[in-house]
Amino acid sequence: MSSLKTPARLANNFPTDLIHLSPASNPTSPSIATDSIYSQAQFSESSDVTSLSSIEDSHHSRPLRPGVYVPTVTFFQPENEDLDLETISKHAVRLAKAGVAGITTQGSNGEAVHLSHQERKQVTRTTRKALSSEGFASIPIIVGCGAQSTREAIELCHEALAAGGDYALILPPSYYKAMLSSESLIDFFYDVADASPIPILIYNYPAAVGGIDLDSDSISALAKHPNIVGCKLTCGNTGKLARIAAATDAASTSSHGSGFMCMGGSADFVLQTLVVGGSGIICGVGNIAPKACVRIVELYAAGELAEAQKLQAVVARGDWAAISGGIIGTKSALETYYGYGGHARKPLPRVEKQEVVKHANAFKELVDMENSLD
């Protein structure tokens, strides 16, 4: 068993005033711009139905609160690469039971680039249904909605809402990087935020978008838009995170602040994010060890910094296994330790037998820690 102390869990006891309500559910929020060329009517046919009344389980705004969010893996049938909806459901419930604050679908770990629009909706809808049926209806779902055109990004936001998503995570476009000025990128986020039916979070992940790296001034300025409610910084720049958290008066484990969610994008700096006033983390390794990631937040909130630091070191080593092995390594470890995971969609390669052992060994310390936690 772990020697780490066990503080009171945040999942059920988090102060209700330390949560972010979307502008749509908060009558005191500034109104969202309505003069965009991208009207809601344009997307009504292509995105199923966008009215709240049409969404299964009576969709309502689910607030974001500081903590751990996990970008879920998308699972496929081994024989034909069709979606494995049963495993997608089971995995979402496992994460919820571990105490995560929220779930992200259609992220990098979810192989969004390998999915059709229809499959994206099916994954989010399946995740929402699984959470609701197991008593976790209040857990928010953030849906990856980045695209190369402004129009498609907005369409994905409408589809996310129709599928039961609550927030959209938006990468900047990058295919025509050489022709995109800083002003073009800023306008992209403003246009999407103006037209999206759900609040958005800015996703800064230079490795996924040809090196585009939004600076703290740009993100802090964008944060003033009433429909931009947070950011995910997978750039790993904790100095940038500290500047944005301060400039936006971000929500933290001890203060509601403005409600803006300034999130780190990797589990190797959960504690660092919290120390500088960030709101939490959206981390891929949470698919392997959600309880360990959540426990770091709980320890920090309880003032157990020495214990939090010890656990952070273990999680950081495990996160390096996830970073170096990518989605292939994460799925391999899930298969080894939890009996499900499977393969990524082609053209990503299958894992050879010797690589299975390598990935298992790389994650072993973290999985052992995960299994020792209540």
CA distance 361 to 357: 6
The full length of the chain comes to 374
CA distance 185 to 284: 26
DSSP letter (8 states) at residue 82: -
Cβ neighbors of 4 (< 8 A, separation 6 or more) are 295, 299, 307, 310, 311, 373
Active site residue: 232, 240, 291, 331, which one? 232
CA distance 226 to 23: 7
3-class secondary structure, 262: strand
Instruction: Residue 248: name the closest of 267, 228, 266 by CA.
Output: 228
Q: Is 232 a catalytic residue?
A: yes
Q: Check if the beta carbon of residue 126 is closer than 8 Å to that of residue 132.
A: no
Tally of CB atoms within 10 A around 221: 15
- Residues annotated as catalytic are 232
